[in-house]
Structures are given as structure tokens and as C-alpha cells.
Amino acid sequence: MHTMDTFTPTPADRFTFGLWTVGNPGRDPFGPSVRATQSPNRIVAKLAECGAYGVNLHDEDLIPFGASAAERDRIVKEFKGALKDNGMVVPMATTNLFSQPIFKDGAFTSNDPRVRTFALQKTMRAMDLGVELGAKTYVFWGGREGTESDACRSPIDAMKRFRDAINFLCGYVRDQGYDLRFALEAKPNEPRGDIYLATTGHMLHFISTLDEPERVGVNPEVAHETMAGLSFVHNIAQAMEAGKLYHIDLNGQRIGRYDQDLRFGSEDLKQAFLTVRLLEGIPGNDPYTGPLHFDAHAYRTEDDEGVWEFAVGCMRTYKILKSRALAFEADPDVQEIIAERTDDALDALLNGGYSTEAAEAISAASIDVDTIAKKGLGYERLDQLLVEHMMGVRG
């Protein structure tokens, strides 16, 4: 399909895809599937061929809803065989709490205790499955945890119910002795009119209210934060700084649209560049070292071949952006502009925390307001350098 070069993906790059991503048959609200349904075992083999490291799944991506215990065990056994034969791993698993009609008004936040019970039951079984396959991260995306008619429940009760569910499931993981962390994935809307805990920032605060906050982090998705009109880079930066970036969903999205889940880097290349730069720790921060998951799917125009072009494209673009970001950072012209201005006396004061003496010294400091205000910062040049590096005409 492709000739090998330095951007050819390899398992060492830690790229992963969901079974539901490359397995997406192109169904949308306006039309049916345009591609054949692929078996999970075929997806594993094809992803391995493309250079991916692992595959993630919802319970129902692998085990059909309502399957018998014997059927489940047979499927799991064969799937484990496919993973082994292809040298693939399952780093993350999750529960489908949105497809079955019982979840039409949410799962953990439903008004009906029977629905909430069923959601916990399904999630505990899905966790058992994920752990059996080797998953270390468990994602919670509240697909239908939201409303159209907001008078149906108090949004305050929804918060409490969601918290109760996550606390309960942390308890289950402890009780079972599972080595499993949770990653909460926010989305502002779709399929509900409004989904609770709409952004990564909301999730970060919610985590601080849990019984076991250390077990729980976030799984930000490019498309979701972009739908909310936010900077993905700023959102993941806050999560990274808080030590909470437990997983990531990379894809492409245009602002103001439905959840497009496009190939990584296919939209807003500059945001993708800055995302890779930060994840890789290129500006000097601690890098993200977890799996690099693409939660995206091929255009509906594509056949099977196009699906694998899409998968390889996500991974190649990540690697190309990484190499471009390294070149950008190494450019002396760039460094000259972003070099931090230092002042030993002021830095000592600013970094020393509050004291009566510091307050007096800061009050007494003489700052040349006019000179500072008059000087341009060179960010036009910086941004043009970024664009030129990104486009490969420099460095």
C-alpha cells in the first residue's frame, strides 16, 4: 500500500484504534451502511498490518448484546488468539451505554433505578471483559447522559447519580483487585441535545469530588472540545498539568458542526501540530506516554481500501507533525522569539510565594509600563515560522 519511510507507523509509536473506528460501515442518520461489517478478528489483523500497536473496544463491539455465556467465552477465546497471532494489545476498554433502547434517556443518570441498575450491571461485566483482555484504562463517555427537555430531571440530581455510579465502579475495581484506571470523556452534545459535564474542564472538577480521585482522569477528544468551540491544546494542557491525561481521542473536526470524527490532521492542521508538540513534550513539558488513540472513521465515500488509507493517514500525519514540531523547536529564530525573559530579582519575588516582605517588595518595584507596552512581541513572525515549518519549507 505504501512504501516504507521514516513516517511508516510501527508498534513502538503506540498508535491504537477502536474496533468501532476502522470498523465503521458508514451508516449515518441519512443512509445505511456503505461498507461490509468486518469481524473483530479481521480488524485486528489489518490494524497490525498497518503498524498499529493496539485495539480498543466497547463490550458490544466484540460480544453481541444478549449473547450467551458460552458464546461470549468462545468469542473471547478466538479474539485473544487473533491478538496473539498479530502481536496486538488491548490498552483500553469501555461500555456501550448508548445503543440499546433501554438507554434512550441515559444510563447512570436515568430517572429509573432499573435503568441505573442495568447500566452498572453491564459496566461491571464489560470491565471484567476489558481486564481479561489486558486493558489498563477504562473509558466513560456519557453518550446519552443528557437531555432535550431539561425539566425531566434536576441537573443537580444527574450530577449526584453520575458521581454515585463512578464511585460504585471504583469500589468494584478495588474489590476485584483490578489494575484499572478510569478516563472520563466529555462531549457537549450529540446524540443528546445537551450532555452533562460538557467539556474536559467540567470533568476535571467533577473528578475532584469523587471518593477515589486518583483512579480517575480524562480522555479528551479533539472533535468534542472543538464542537464546544474550545482550544484542544489548552484543554489537554490543563489535564496534563493536573496529571490527569489518562487517555486521548485524536481525530479531526470543524467548529460548529456535528461530531465529524475525521482523520487526524484532516482539519485544523495547526491545532493538530500544537497538540502533537505538547503531547510529545517538545516545548519542555513532561510528555504524554499513554496510547495514542484515533477515535475517527473513514469518509462514507470509501471502500475497504479507503478505510486502511484512512488509518495509515492518521498515524503518518501524527509522525510527520512530530518531526515538524521538533524542527520548529530547534530553529534558533523560533527560540529567539519564545525565549523566556528573565529578571533574577523579580523572578525570585514572583516564585517565592506570599509574605509580608514580598508584598512590600512587589508594591515598591518600579515597572517601566510605557516601554514594555510599546514593544511588539514578534508573534506574527513566530506564527509564520510555525506555518513554514509545518508546510515543510523550512528546517
Report which residue type is found at 65.
Answer: F
Handedness of CA 82, 85, 86, 89 (dihedral sign): positive
By CB under 5 A, residue 60 contacts Mn ion: no
Least CB distance from residue 251 to ligand GCO, whole Å? 8
State the cell numbers at 188. Answer: 457537549
Least CB distance from residue 295 to ligand GCO, whole Å? 5
Least CB distance from residue 321 to ligand GCO, whole Å? 21
Who's near 33: CB < 8 A, 6+ residues apart?
A: 25, 26, 27
* Helix, strand, or coil (residue 140): strand
Buried-state track 203-228, b at ≥16 Cβ within 10 A, e below 16: bbebbeebeeeebbbbbbbbbbbbbb
**Peptide bond between residue 64 and the one before it cis (omega within 30 degrees of 0):** no
> From the list Mn ion, ligand GCO, none, which binds 13 (C-beta under 5 to 8 Å, kind-based)?
none
> From the list ligand GCO, Mn ion, none, which binds 94 (C-beta under 5 to 8 Å, kind-based)?
ligand GCO
User: How many Cβ atoms sit within 10 Å of the Cβ of residue 333?
Assistant: 13
Nearer to ligand GCO, 24 or 317 (CB): 24
User: How many Cβ atoms sit within 10 Å of the Cβ of residue 159?
Assistant: 16
Q: Contact positions toward ligand GCO, by CB under 6 A?
A: 94, 139, 141, 185, 187, 221, 249, 259, 295
Strands 216-218 and 292-294 turn out to be unpaired
Residue nearest to ligand GCO (CB): 141
Cα 14 from Cα 51, distance rounded (Å):
9
Q: Which stretch binds Mn ion (CB under 5 A): 38-46, 111-119, 198-206, 292-300?
A: 292-300
Q: Residues in contact with Mn ion, total (CB under 5 A)?
A: 6
Segment 234 to 273, residues that bind Mn ion, using CB under 5 A: 249, 259, 261
58 is catalytic: yes
Q: Which residue in 58, 224, 293, 297 is the catalytic one?
A: 58
Nearer to Mn ion, 259 or 280 (CB): 259
Nearer to ligand GCO, 133 or 334 (CB): 133
Nearer to Mn ion, 288 or 328 (CB): 288
Least CB distance from residue 357 to Mn ion, whole Å? 50
Nearer to Mn ion, 166 or 386 (CB): 166
Nearer to Mn ion, 228 or 325 (CB): 228
> From the list ligand GCO, Mn ion, none, which binds 139 (C-beta under 5 to 8 Å, kind-based)?
ligand GCO
Contact predicate 261/305, CB 8 Å: no
Burial of 101 (0-12, 13-18, 19+ CB in 10 A): exposed
> From the list ligand GCO, Mn ion, none, which binds 325 (C-beta under 5 to 8 Å, kind-based)?
none
Q: How far is CA 327 from the centre of its chain?
A: 25
Task: Please report, for residues 62, 77, 386, the alpha-carbon distance to residue 43 in angstroms, rounded to integers and kept in the order given.
Answer: 11, 16, 37
By CB under 5 A, residue 295 contacts Mn ion: yes
Q: Which residue in 61, 259, 268, 295 is the catalytic one?
A: 61
Least CB distance from residue 137 to Mn ion, whole Å? 13
Strands 15-18 and 54-58 turn out to be parallel
Contact predicate 129/63, CB 8 Å: yes
State the cell numbers at 191. Answer: 446524540
Least CB distance from residue 128 to ligand GCO, whole Å? 17
> What's the DSSP call for residue 104?
B
Site string for Mn ion, 206-235 (x = CB under 5 A): ---------------x-x------------
Residues catalogued as catalytic:
58, 61
Residues that bind Mn ion (CB under 5 A): 221, 223, 249, 259, 261, 295
